[in-house]
Amino acid sequence: MQYKRSRNLILLMHVALALLLSGCAGIATRDSAQAGAGVQRIYHEDIELSGRLLVLYQQNEKEQSLPGSFEWKQNKDSTLVTLLSPLGQIVATITVDAGGATLIQAKQAPKYARDLDSLMSETLGWPMPIAGMRDWLQGFVKNAQGKRAAVATGNDATIASDGWQLRYASWQDDFTLPKRIDLNRHTEQAGNVAIRIVIEPRKEL
């Protein structure tokens, strides 16, 4: 009987501990959202970012998956994106400026186009919304008037922008940049396209 009581007591202690930890986790989540709400984010015309991405799309009625990483560099007039394989090999280099878009792949002639989505779809098989990502990667979106507005941290709702559905799943510890963004869109060329982006913390110089 004493052994049974001891087991019941231990079980009750485990349940109480689990409830306590669950409550603490809920408090931590709310505190994080409140802390992020108080951070003033600044948009940078010149910025360098890097991270990982996973692209899911359809080609010839088959599901395709493309994991890898990226390096992002932008200034006021242009954007340079380098896509890398999981082993670090360069898959493609994309440059976008006022003259249009250029895509370079290893051992292939550069390809030019005015429309980046068409260029990406025809060459890689899926679109990449680089124009929108200049804002999205920093946690901003353009409103109906074309003005840039900061996305509220802690808000897990889906946001529509430039024909894409954006979900800010998590933020960096200092809340100055997103940590994970999920992009989704249905396209004529590649069916349902999903791009999962994980941004690495910026390195201070």
pLDDT in tens, the chain (205 residues): 444 443 443 333 333 333 333 333 333 334 445 555 567 889 999 999 999 999 999 988 899 999 999 999 999 999 999 999 999 999 999 999 999 999 999 889 999 998 787 788 788 888 899 999 999 999 999 988 889 999 988 767 789 999 999 999 999 998 999 999 999 999 888 899 999 999 999 865 4
DSSP-assigned letter for residue 106 = T
Residue 70 near residue 83 (C-beta atoms within 8 A): yes
For residue 17, report the phi and psi dihedrals to the nearest 5 degrees: -65, -40
Among 192, 74, 66, which residue's Cα sits nearest to residue 133? 74
Q: Please say whether the dihedral angle defined by the alpha carbons of residues 44, 68, 184 and 93, taken in this order, is positive or negative.
A: positive
Is the whole-model pTM more than 0.85?
A: no
Q: How far apart are CA 61 and CA 108, in angstroms?
A: 26
Q: Could you say which architecture CATH assigns to the domain 47-199?
A: Clam (2.50)
Residue type, 158: T
SS3 category, 15: helix
